[in-house]
Structure 1
Amino acid sequence: MATVTVEINGRPYAVGCADGQEERVRILAKQFDTHVRQVAADVGHVGDIRLFLMAALVLADELHEVRMTNGSGATALSAPAGAMSPSPAEPGVAEALNAVAARIEKIAQGL
């Protein structure tokens, strides 16, 4: 298992992922960071946990809209040029998301 340090809203986070998935995790983290920074610009500083939650809800809403547009439960997401689009079926992505979720929960327990 590899560990990648990603930066979200100016703070570093160590994330575990499957070997070979490091670049993919960096790309996903950069996309998430963009959403977190947009939420922060819209609502101001409300704490990292709330910013992360709001950004996750924005992403969930976008995913829901894509699924509704497709008319099925499939996710046919288009990624920015040069980026790899996430596929829930690929090993390592779910693992990375679980690691991020665990990290967020640990941070929340410390508040």
Structure 2
Amino acid sequence: MAQVTVRVGGYSHPVACQDGQERHLTDMAAEVDKRIGALKAMGMQFGETRMLLLAALQLADETSDLSSENAALKAGGAVAPAAPQAAVAAPPSVDPALVRRLHRVAEAIEAIAATLEAP
């Protein structure tokens, strides 16, 4: 088992992976770091945990969209084009209400996680 140290959001994280998967792991970490950079560019100033959560939610949303597109393609249906990522992450289009809503969602998720971690 290989050990790789990745840097995400300005923090270093040692992560284990299968031998030969080091490059793939560092590429994935770079994608997460890119998402965190975009969040910071929008003016979001949260702690590491919340930033990682928001980046993970973005990636999960994108994965969900891709899964839906894949299912539609397999079924022979048409696929509506997704919004370009650059337009989603552009600071001028930031909706303050959306930022507040994401903040509340993140707090709710953290509260749930805290109850799950409690002895």
Same fold, TM-score > 0.5, yes or no: yes
Gaps of 5+ in 1: 75-104
1:66 Cα offset (Å): 0.9
Aligned twin of 1:46: 46
Identity %: 35
Q: Which amino acid aligns with 1:10?
A: G
Gaps of 5+ in 2: 75-112
Aligned twin of 1:66: 66
Q: Which amino acid aligns with 1:42?
A: M
Larger-gyration structure (1/2): 2
**Greater helix proportion:** 2
In the alignment, the residues of structure 1 paired with residue 7 and residue 27 of structure 2 have an alpha-carbon distance, to the nearest angstrom, of 11
- 1:30 and 2:8 matched: no
1:28 Cα offset (Å): 0.7
- RMSD of Structure 2 on Structure 1 (CA): 2.0
What TM-score do you get using the length of structure 1 for normalisation?
Answer: 0.61
Aligned twin of 1:14: 14
1:43 Cα offset (Å): 4.2
In the alignment, the residues of structure 2 paired with residue 19 and residue 68 of structure 1 have an alpha-carbon distance, to the nearest angstrom, of 32
What TM-score do you get using the length of structure 2 for normalisation?
Answer: 0.57
**What is the count of residue pairs matched by the alignment?**
75
Q: Which amino acid aligns with 2:57?
A: L
